[in-house]
Chains A and B, each alone.
Chain A
Amino acid sequence: MKYSIHVPSTLEEAFTTRSRVGGQYLAGGTVVLAIKKPVCDLVSLSRIPGLSFIERKGDCIEIGGGTTFDELDRSALLKERLTALWQASHELAGPQIRNVATIGGNIGSMSPSADSVTALMALDASVRLFTMEGGKPCRRTVPIRELRLGEGEIIEAVVIRTNVDSSVFEKVGKRNAMAVSVVNMAVARVGKKVSVAVGSAAPNVVFCRRTSEILSKDCTDMMAAKAAILEEISPKDDRWGTVEQKRIVCANMLEKLAGEVSA
C-alpha cells in the first residue's frame, strides 16, 4: 500500500489541499491505516498548531479535535467534570493507540462503536466544524446528536457544558483491552434530565431519545426504559456478539448505569 501524506500547517491549507487532491484527513491514523482501502492521498492534521487542548471556557469545556486519548485520559478536569468522556478515553483501545488516536478522528471515523462518541452524545456535546466558503474560513457549531459532516469539514473542537451532575460510561469487549466494544453505553444526568447513548448496537452510535425521556420523567421506571431502549437499538449479529447478547447487555447496562447516575 502506498500513500501520499500531505502535511499542511493551517486549517485553511488542510481544507484546500483536501479539496484539491481528494482523499481523506488523517487525524491519528489508527483507523485509516488499519483498513486496507486504497486511499492514495492523506491530509494529515497532526502538524496544525492549536488543535490539541483541553480548556475551560465559561460554563463549558472545549477540547481540540487533535487532542489524543492519552491526553484526555490524563486530564484531571475531565475526570472530575465529565466522567463519562474520561472513562471512554481511559478504556479506548490500549496505550499505544491512545498515544496517537484523537477525539476528532474518533468522531470523524463514523464508527458505530466509537467509544468517545457514545459519551459525547450522552453529554449533549457540540462539535465546532471548520470549512471554507468562497475562499474564506467559516465555522459552524452543531450538536453531536445531529452531526452530519459536510464535504471537507474539519472537526476543530468539541464543546461540552459542565452543568452535568453525574455521568458514566461502560464498555464491554471480548477482552479487557484493545477490544472493539460489543456494546458501549453512556448515561448523563443534568438535574432531573437523564440522557442515554449506546454504541455498537445500531449502524451508528444512537442517542436514545425515548429512553432518556422516560428516565427524565421517572428515573426508577426501569421497565419502561428497558422496553424503550430495546426499541431504539437495532443490533445485528456481528463478529463481536449476537443480537440476543447485545439486547440483554443493553438492558442490563441501562439499569446499572441509570442507577449509578441517579442522585
Chain B
Amino acid sequence: MKNIIGTSVFRSDAPDKARGRSVFADDLMIPGTLHVSLARARVAHAILKGVKVPPIPDGCFVFTAKDLHSNLIPSIMNEQPVLASERIRCHGEPFAIVAAPTKELADSIADSIEPELEVLGTVDSIADALDPSKPALFEKGNVCSTFHSEKGDVDRGFRESFLTVEGDFETPTQIHGFLEPEGAVTFIDEDGKMMIVASTQYAFGDLREASAVTGRPQSEIRAMAATVGGAFGGKDGYYVSVFPAVVTHLTGKPAKYIYSREENIRYGMKRHKSISHAKVGFSKDGRILAADCSILLDTGAYAVLGTSVLKLAMEVFCGAYDIPNVRLDGKLLYTNHAPGSAMKGFGAPQSAMAFENLLNRAASKLGIDPVQIRIINAIHKGQKNSMGGVHEHEIGLEEALLKFRESDFYREMTQHPEKDCGYGIAVGMKSSGLGKFVPDTCHVTIRKTGGGYIVRTSIVDLGQGSRTTLSQIAAQALGVPFEAIDMQMGCTDGNPDSGSTAASRSTYVCGNAILDAARKIREGADEATGSCAFPEPKDEAVHAFFAFLVQGAKVKTDPVTGKTDVLWMHSTTDAGRIINPALLDGQVFGGISMSIGMTLSEQIRYRDGKALENGMGNYIIPTALDVPKLTNEFVEKPEESGPFGAKGMAELPTVAVAPAITTAVCSLYEDLEINSIPIDRTAVLKSRRKR
C-alpha cells in the first residue's frame, strides 16, 4: 500500500461545500421553531436594577436570569453571567432571552424590553483599566490576572550588553471574521433528549454549558457540530447555543439562534488588544543577553479564555531564542468592551509584534543579517525556555532559518531587491495543546465495518481540513485506502470526548489517539477505543511543545496615499512531519491573510464602550486584491511523540506577519518606526523616503 502520509489527498469535505450541500446550523428548518433574540444593553457599564417586560403576544416567551437553573457560564474565572442580572459590563450584554414564532417578532419584543439602569463611568481602554479613579468592573478591581517570571540576572544582562533596544508597541482588537456567524438550533428529539446542533468547536462544551445553565442532566442532552463555516477560536469556551437551549428546555419547542453579522462584530469574542513594552540587550556579535518584556491585554468585560491567552503571550514573547536573562510581566485587564478570548495565535501575534520588530532594529544597528541574528540566538531542544524550563520536544527553528536563507525570497531580498520595494522578516512560534494544569486528553473509537472502518471523534472539521488529515492518519495506521475510512465527527452521542478542536492540538492528540485505537484493531479487535494525553511540561513552562516559522514580507508603499501593498509573503514552516502539504499551505495562507488584515486595516474601535464597527462594510478585512503572492515551504524534523512525527501548527502562521510587514515598510524610510498597527498611513506619508 502506498504511503498517504505527506500527500495532498483531495479534501473529503470539498465536494459537498462546493455544491452547497453542506448543512450549516442556519440551514436546519424545523416546523414550529421559536426564533431567539436577546435583549441587549445599550450602555457599556451600569447597575441593572430591574428588567421591565411589557405584555407580550401569545406564543412568545421572555426569560430573564431568574428563570435559569444557574446564571453562570462555566469558565476559568467563573465570573460571566448568562444574562446580566445586577450589572451591565459591556455594550450589548444580554439581559433577557426572547423567543417568538418569527425572528422579526423576537427582535421587536427584545427591543421593547427596558432595563432599569444606573449608568456608571466607562472603562474604555487599557489605560482606564489601570486608572484607580475609574470604576471597577468587579469587586477585586480591573486586574483579572497577572503573570510574572524572572530567569537569570536581567539587570546584569543589560549592564553587560553592547546594545540595548527598547520600545512600546500596540496591536488592535480584531475579530475572527469567519464566514458563518455563531449560532445553534435546539430541539427535543424522539428519545426526549434535548439536541443541540451548533456552529461550535466543541460539542461537549455546548452540552456541559447547557446542562449547567438549565439544570437538565448531561445524559438528557445531545450536542453535535453542524458544518462549521470557520471558527478560529471564536466558537470555543463560550457557546451561544445556551440561549436556544434555555428556550427549548423551558418550552419544549425547537429554537434557533443565529448571530447577525452586527452581533458577531460587536458582541462576539475578540482578539485582545495589546500594549506591550520590551527591552532587549545584545552583545556586539548579536547574542541576546537580556530581555525584559511586559504586556497588557484588554480582555473586555469577562475573561473567557483570556488568562490562558496572557500566559501564552508571555511564554512565547521571546521564547524563540535562547536568552540567559529574561523578565516577563503581564496583566490581563477588564474593560467595558466585548470579551477578548481565543483567536488563532492566542496572544502570540501581540508579543511577536514587539519582540521581532526590536530584533530587526538591533540586527540593523549591529550590521548583522536578520536571518543570521536569529540563527545565532535560535532555541534548540534541550535548552531552557524563557522561564527556565527545559525544552524536551523537537524544535526545527534553526533548520527553518537555514532553509529560509536558501529561498528565492531571501536571495531577492539580499541580492537583487526590486526597486522601491521593502523587505522584512520575522520568526513566529506557537504552542500546541491546552497547556499545563488544563486536562488535555483525547479519546476516539474505531469500529470495523463491512467495507472499512468508522472512526468516531468529537473533533470538528472547522474548515481547517481535520476530517481529511485524521482520515489519512487512520488509513495509514490501519493499512487501508483513504476511502475506507468513515469519519464520524463532532458529536457527543456515541462519540468519545476528544477535547476541543482548539489550541493547534487536533492533529497531534487525536492523531495519536487514532494510532492507539488502530494498534488494538491490528491486534485483532473489531472495535477499540484509543486515547492520548497531551504531554505536559515537567518544569517551568506552560506548554510542552511548539511549532516555528520564518516569514518574509515584500511590500511597496504609495508615496501619494501612504498605502502599503504587500506583494509577497514567503514562509518556511517547522511543524514536524507534514501529513497533508496542501492543507498545511491552506493554514499558512489563511493565517497570513488574517494577520495582513490586522496589520493594514482591521480594528475594532470603542467609543464609550460601543464598537464603531458594526458590519463588513466598515470592518475592513482583506479582499483577494489585498492578499499577495504566497509561498510556503517546510522543514520536516519529525517530533518523536507525534503521529508519524507531526506537530500542531494551525495558529502559527498568524504570528510573525505584522513584524515582517512593519519591518519591510520601515526599511523604505529614513526615519520611520512603526510600533502600532494597523499601520498609520499619515505617519508613512510624513516620513522621509530613502533615496
- A interface residues, Cβ below 8 angstroms from B: 34, 94, 170, 172, 174-180, 182-183, 239, 241-242, 244-245, 248-249, 252-253, 256
Contacts and interface: CB of A to CB of B under 8 A. Distances in A.
A176 B612 CA distance: 22
A179 B600 CA distance: 13
A80 B600 CA distance: 34
Contact of B624 (A177, A241, A249): A177
B405 interface: no
Given A175-B601, A253-B561, 17 more contacts: A94-B623, A170-B560, A172-B558, A172-B561, A174-B600, A175-B620, A175-B622, A175-B623, A176-B623, A177-B624, A178-B623, A248-B562, A248-B685, A248-B686, A249-B685, A252-B560, A252-B561
B562 A245 contact: yes
B618 A249 contact: no
A245 B601 contact: no
Given A248-B685, A248-B686, A179 B560 contact: no
Contacts of A94: 623
30 contacts: A34-B617, A94-B623, A170-B560, A174-B600, A174-B601, A174-B620, A175-B620, A175-B621, A175-B622, A175-B623, A175-B625, A176-B625, A176-B626, A177-B623, A177-B624, A177-B625, A180-B617, A182-B561, A242-B682, A244-B682, A245-B562, A248-B562, A248-B685, A248-B686, A249-B561, A249-B562, A249-B685, A252-B560, A252-B685, A253-B560
B151 interface: no
B627 to A, nearest CB: 10
Q: 3 closest Cβ contacts across the A-B interface?
A: A176-B625, A172-B561, A252-B560
**B contact patch SS:** loop
Contacts of A177: 623-626
B37 to A, nearest CB: 15
A249 B559 CA distance: 9
Nearest to A94: B623
Contacts of A170: 560
Contacts of B558: 172
Contacts of A178: 617, 623
A94 B626 CA distance: 13
A242 B686 CA distance: 14
A180 B618 CA distance: 9
Interface string B668-685: 000000000000011001
A176 B565 contact: yes
A249 B617 contact: no
A246 to B, nearest CB: 9
A249 B31 CA distance: 56
B622 to A, nearest CB: 6
Interface in B28-47: none
Interface string B462-473: 000000000000
Interface string B631-652: 0000000000000000000000
Contacts of A180: 617
Nearest to A1: B104
A179 to B, nearest CB: 7
B686 to A, nearest CB: 7
B585 to A, nearest CB: 23
Contacts of B622: 175
A252 B613 CA distance: 29
A101 B626 CA distance: 23
A100 to B, nearest CB: 16
B689 interface: no
A109 to B, nearest CB: 14
A170 B562 CA distance: 14
Interface string B310-339: 000000000000000000000000000000
Contacts of A175: 600-601, 620-623, 625-626
A170 B559 CA distance: 14
B623 A172 contact: no
Contacts of A256: 560
Nearest to B618: A239
Contacts of A252: 559-561, 685
Contacts of B436: none
A248 B625 CA distance: 25
A123 B320 CA distance: 58
B612 A239 contact: yes
A138 to B, nearest CB: 38
Contacts of B625: 175-177
Nearest to B561: A172
Residue among B621, B626, B686 having the largest count of chain A Cβ atoms under 10 Å: B626
Contacts of B617: 34, 178, 180
